[in-house]
Amino acid sequence: MLFKIIPATLRDLNALRTLEDICFPEDAWSLFDLVAVLTFPGVIRLKSVKNGKMVGFIAGDPRPSQGFSWIATFGVLPDYRRQGIGRELLHRCEEQLSTPRVRLSVRLSNKNAIQLYRQEGYQTIDIWEKYYKDGSDAVLMEKSRIE
C-alpha cells in the first residue's frame, strides 16, 4: 500500500482546513469545528498520508449511550481518489468504533459516496429535507454491526 493511515492531531489543523475547503466547498467546517474534531476526547480521527502529505481524513464520534457512532467528516483530495484510500479510511475508523451501529449523513446528490456506503453495508434510514444550507436534502444512512 502506497499510503499509510495514522491518527491525526492538532498539528494537522492547517492541512485539514485545506482538505475540508477542497472536499466540501459548500459545507466546509468552521475553524472551531476543526479544532474540536482534532481535540475532543473520544473522537476517532485518522488521516491518510502519501509522500508525507495528508490526502484524506475521517472522524468518528462515538455516542455509546445512543448505541451508535457518527461519521462526522470524511474526505479524500481529488487527485488521490479512486485508489481505495476512502474505503480504507472508513474501514479503519469503523474498527475503532465499538458501538453496535454507525451512522452518517450525506447529500442526496452525492452518488459516489452513497455507492461506497452501500457497498460497505450502510442502508438509508431517513431523508432530511432541505438539511444543507443551500436547501439540498440529506440521506441518513446506518450500518448495523449486531450479529
Ligand X SMILES: CC(C)(COP(=O)(O)OP(=O)(O)OC[C@H]1O[C@@H](n2cnc3c(N)ncnc32)[C@H](O)[C@@H]1OP(=O)(O)O)[C@@H](O)C(=O)NCCC(=O)NCCS
Does 115 bind ligand X (CB under 6 A)? Our answer is yes
Does 130 bind ligand X (CB under 6 A)? Our answer is no
Does 81 bind ligand X (CB under 6 A)? Our answer is yes
Instruction: Tell me the closest approach of the beta carbon of residue 50 to ligand X, in angstroms.
Output: 11
Site for ligand X in 14-53 (CB under 6 A): 23
Distances from the Cα of 125 to the Cα of 6, 24, 69, 139, 143, angstroms: 31, 23, 15, 8, 10
Cα of 122 vs its chain's centroid, Å: 13
> Of the two residues 59 and 106, which places its CB atom closer to ligand X in the complex?
106
Distances from the Cα of 139 to the Cα of 30, 88, 104, angstroms: 22, 22, 8
The residues binding ligand X (CB under 6 A) are: 23, 74-76, 81-87, 104, 106, 110, 112-113, 115-116, 119
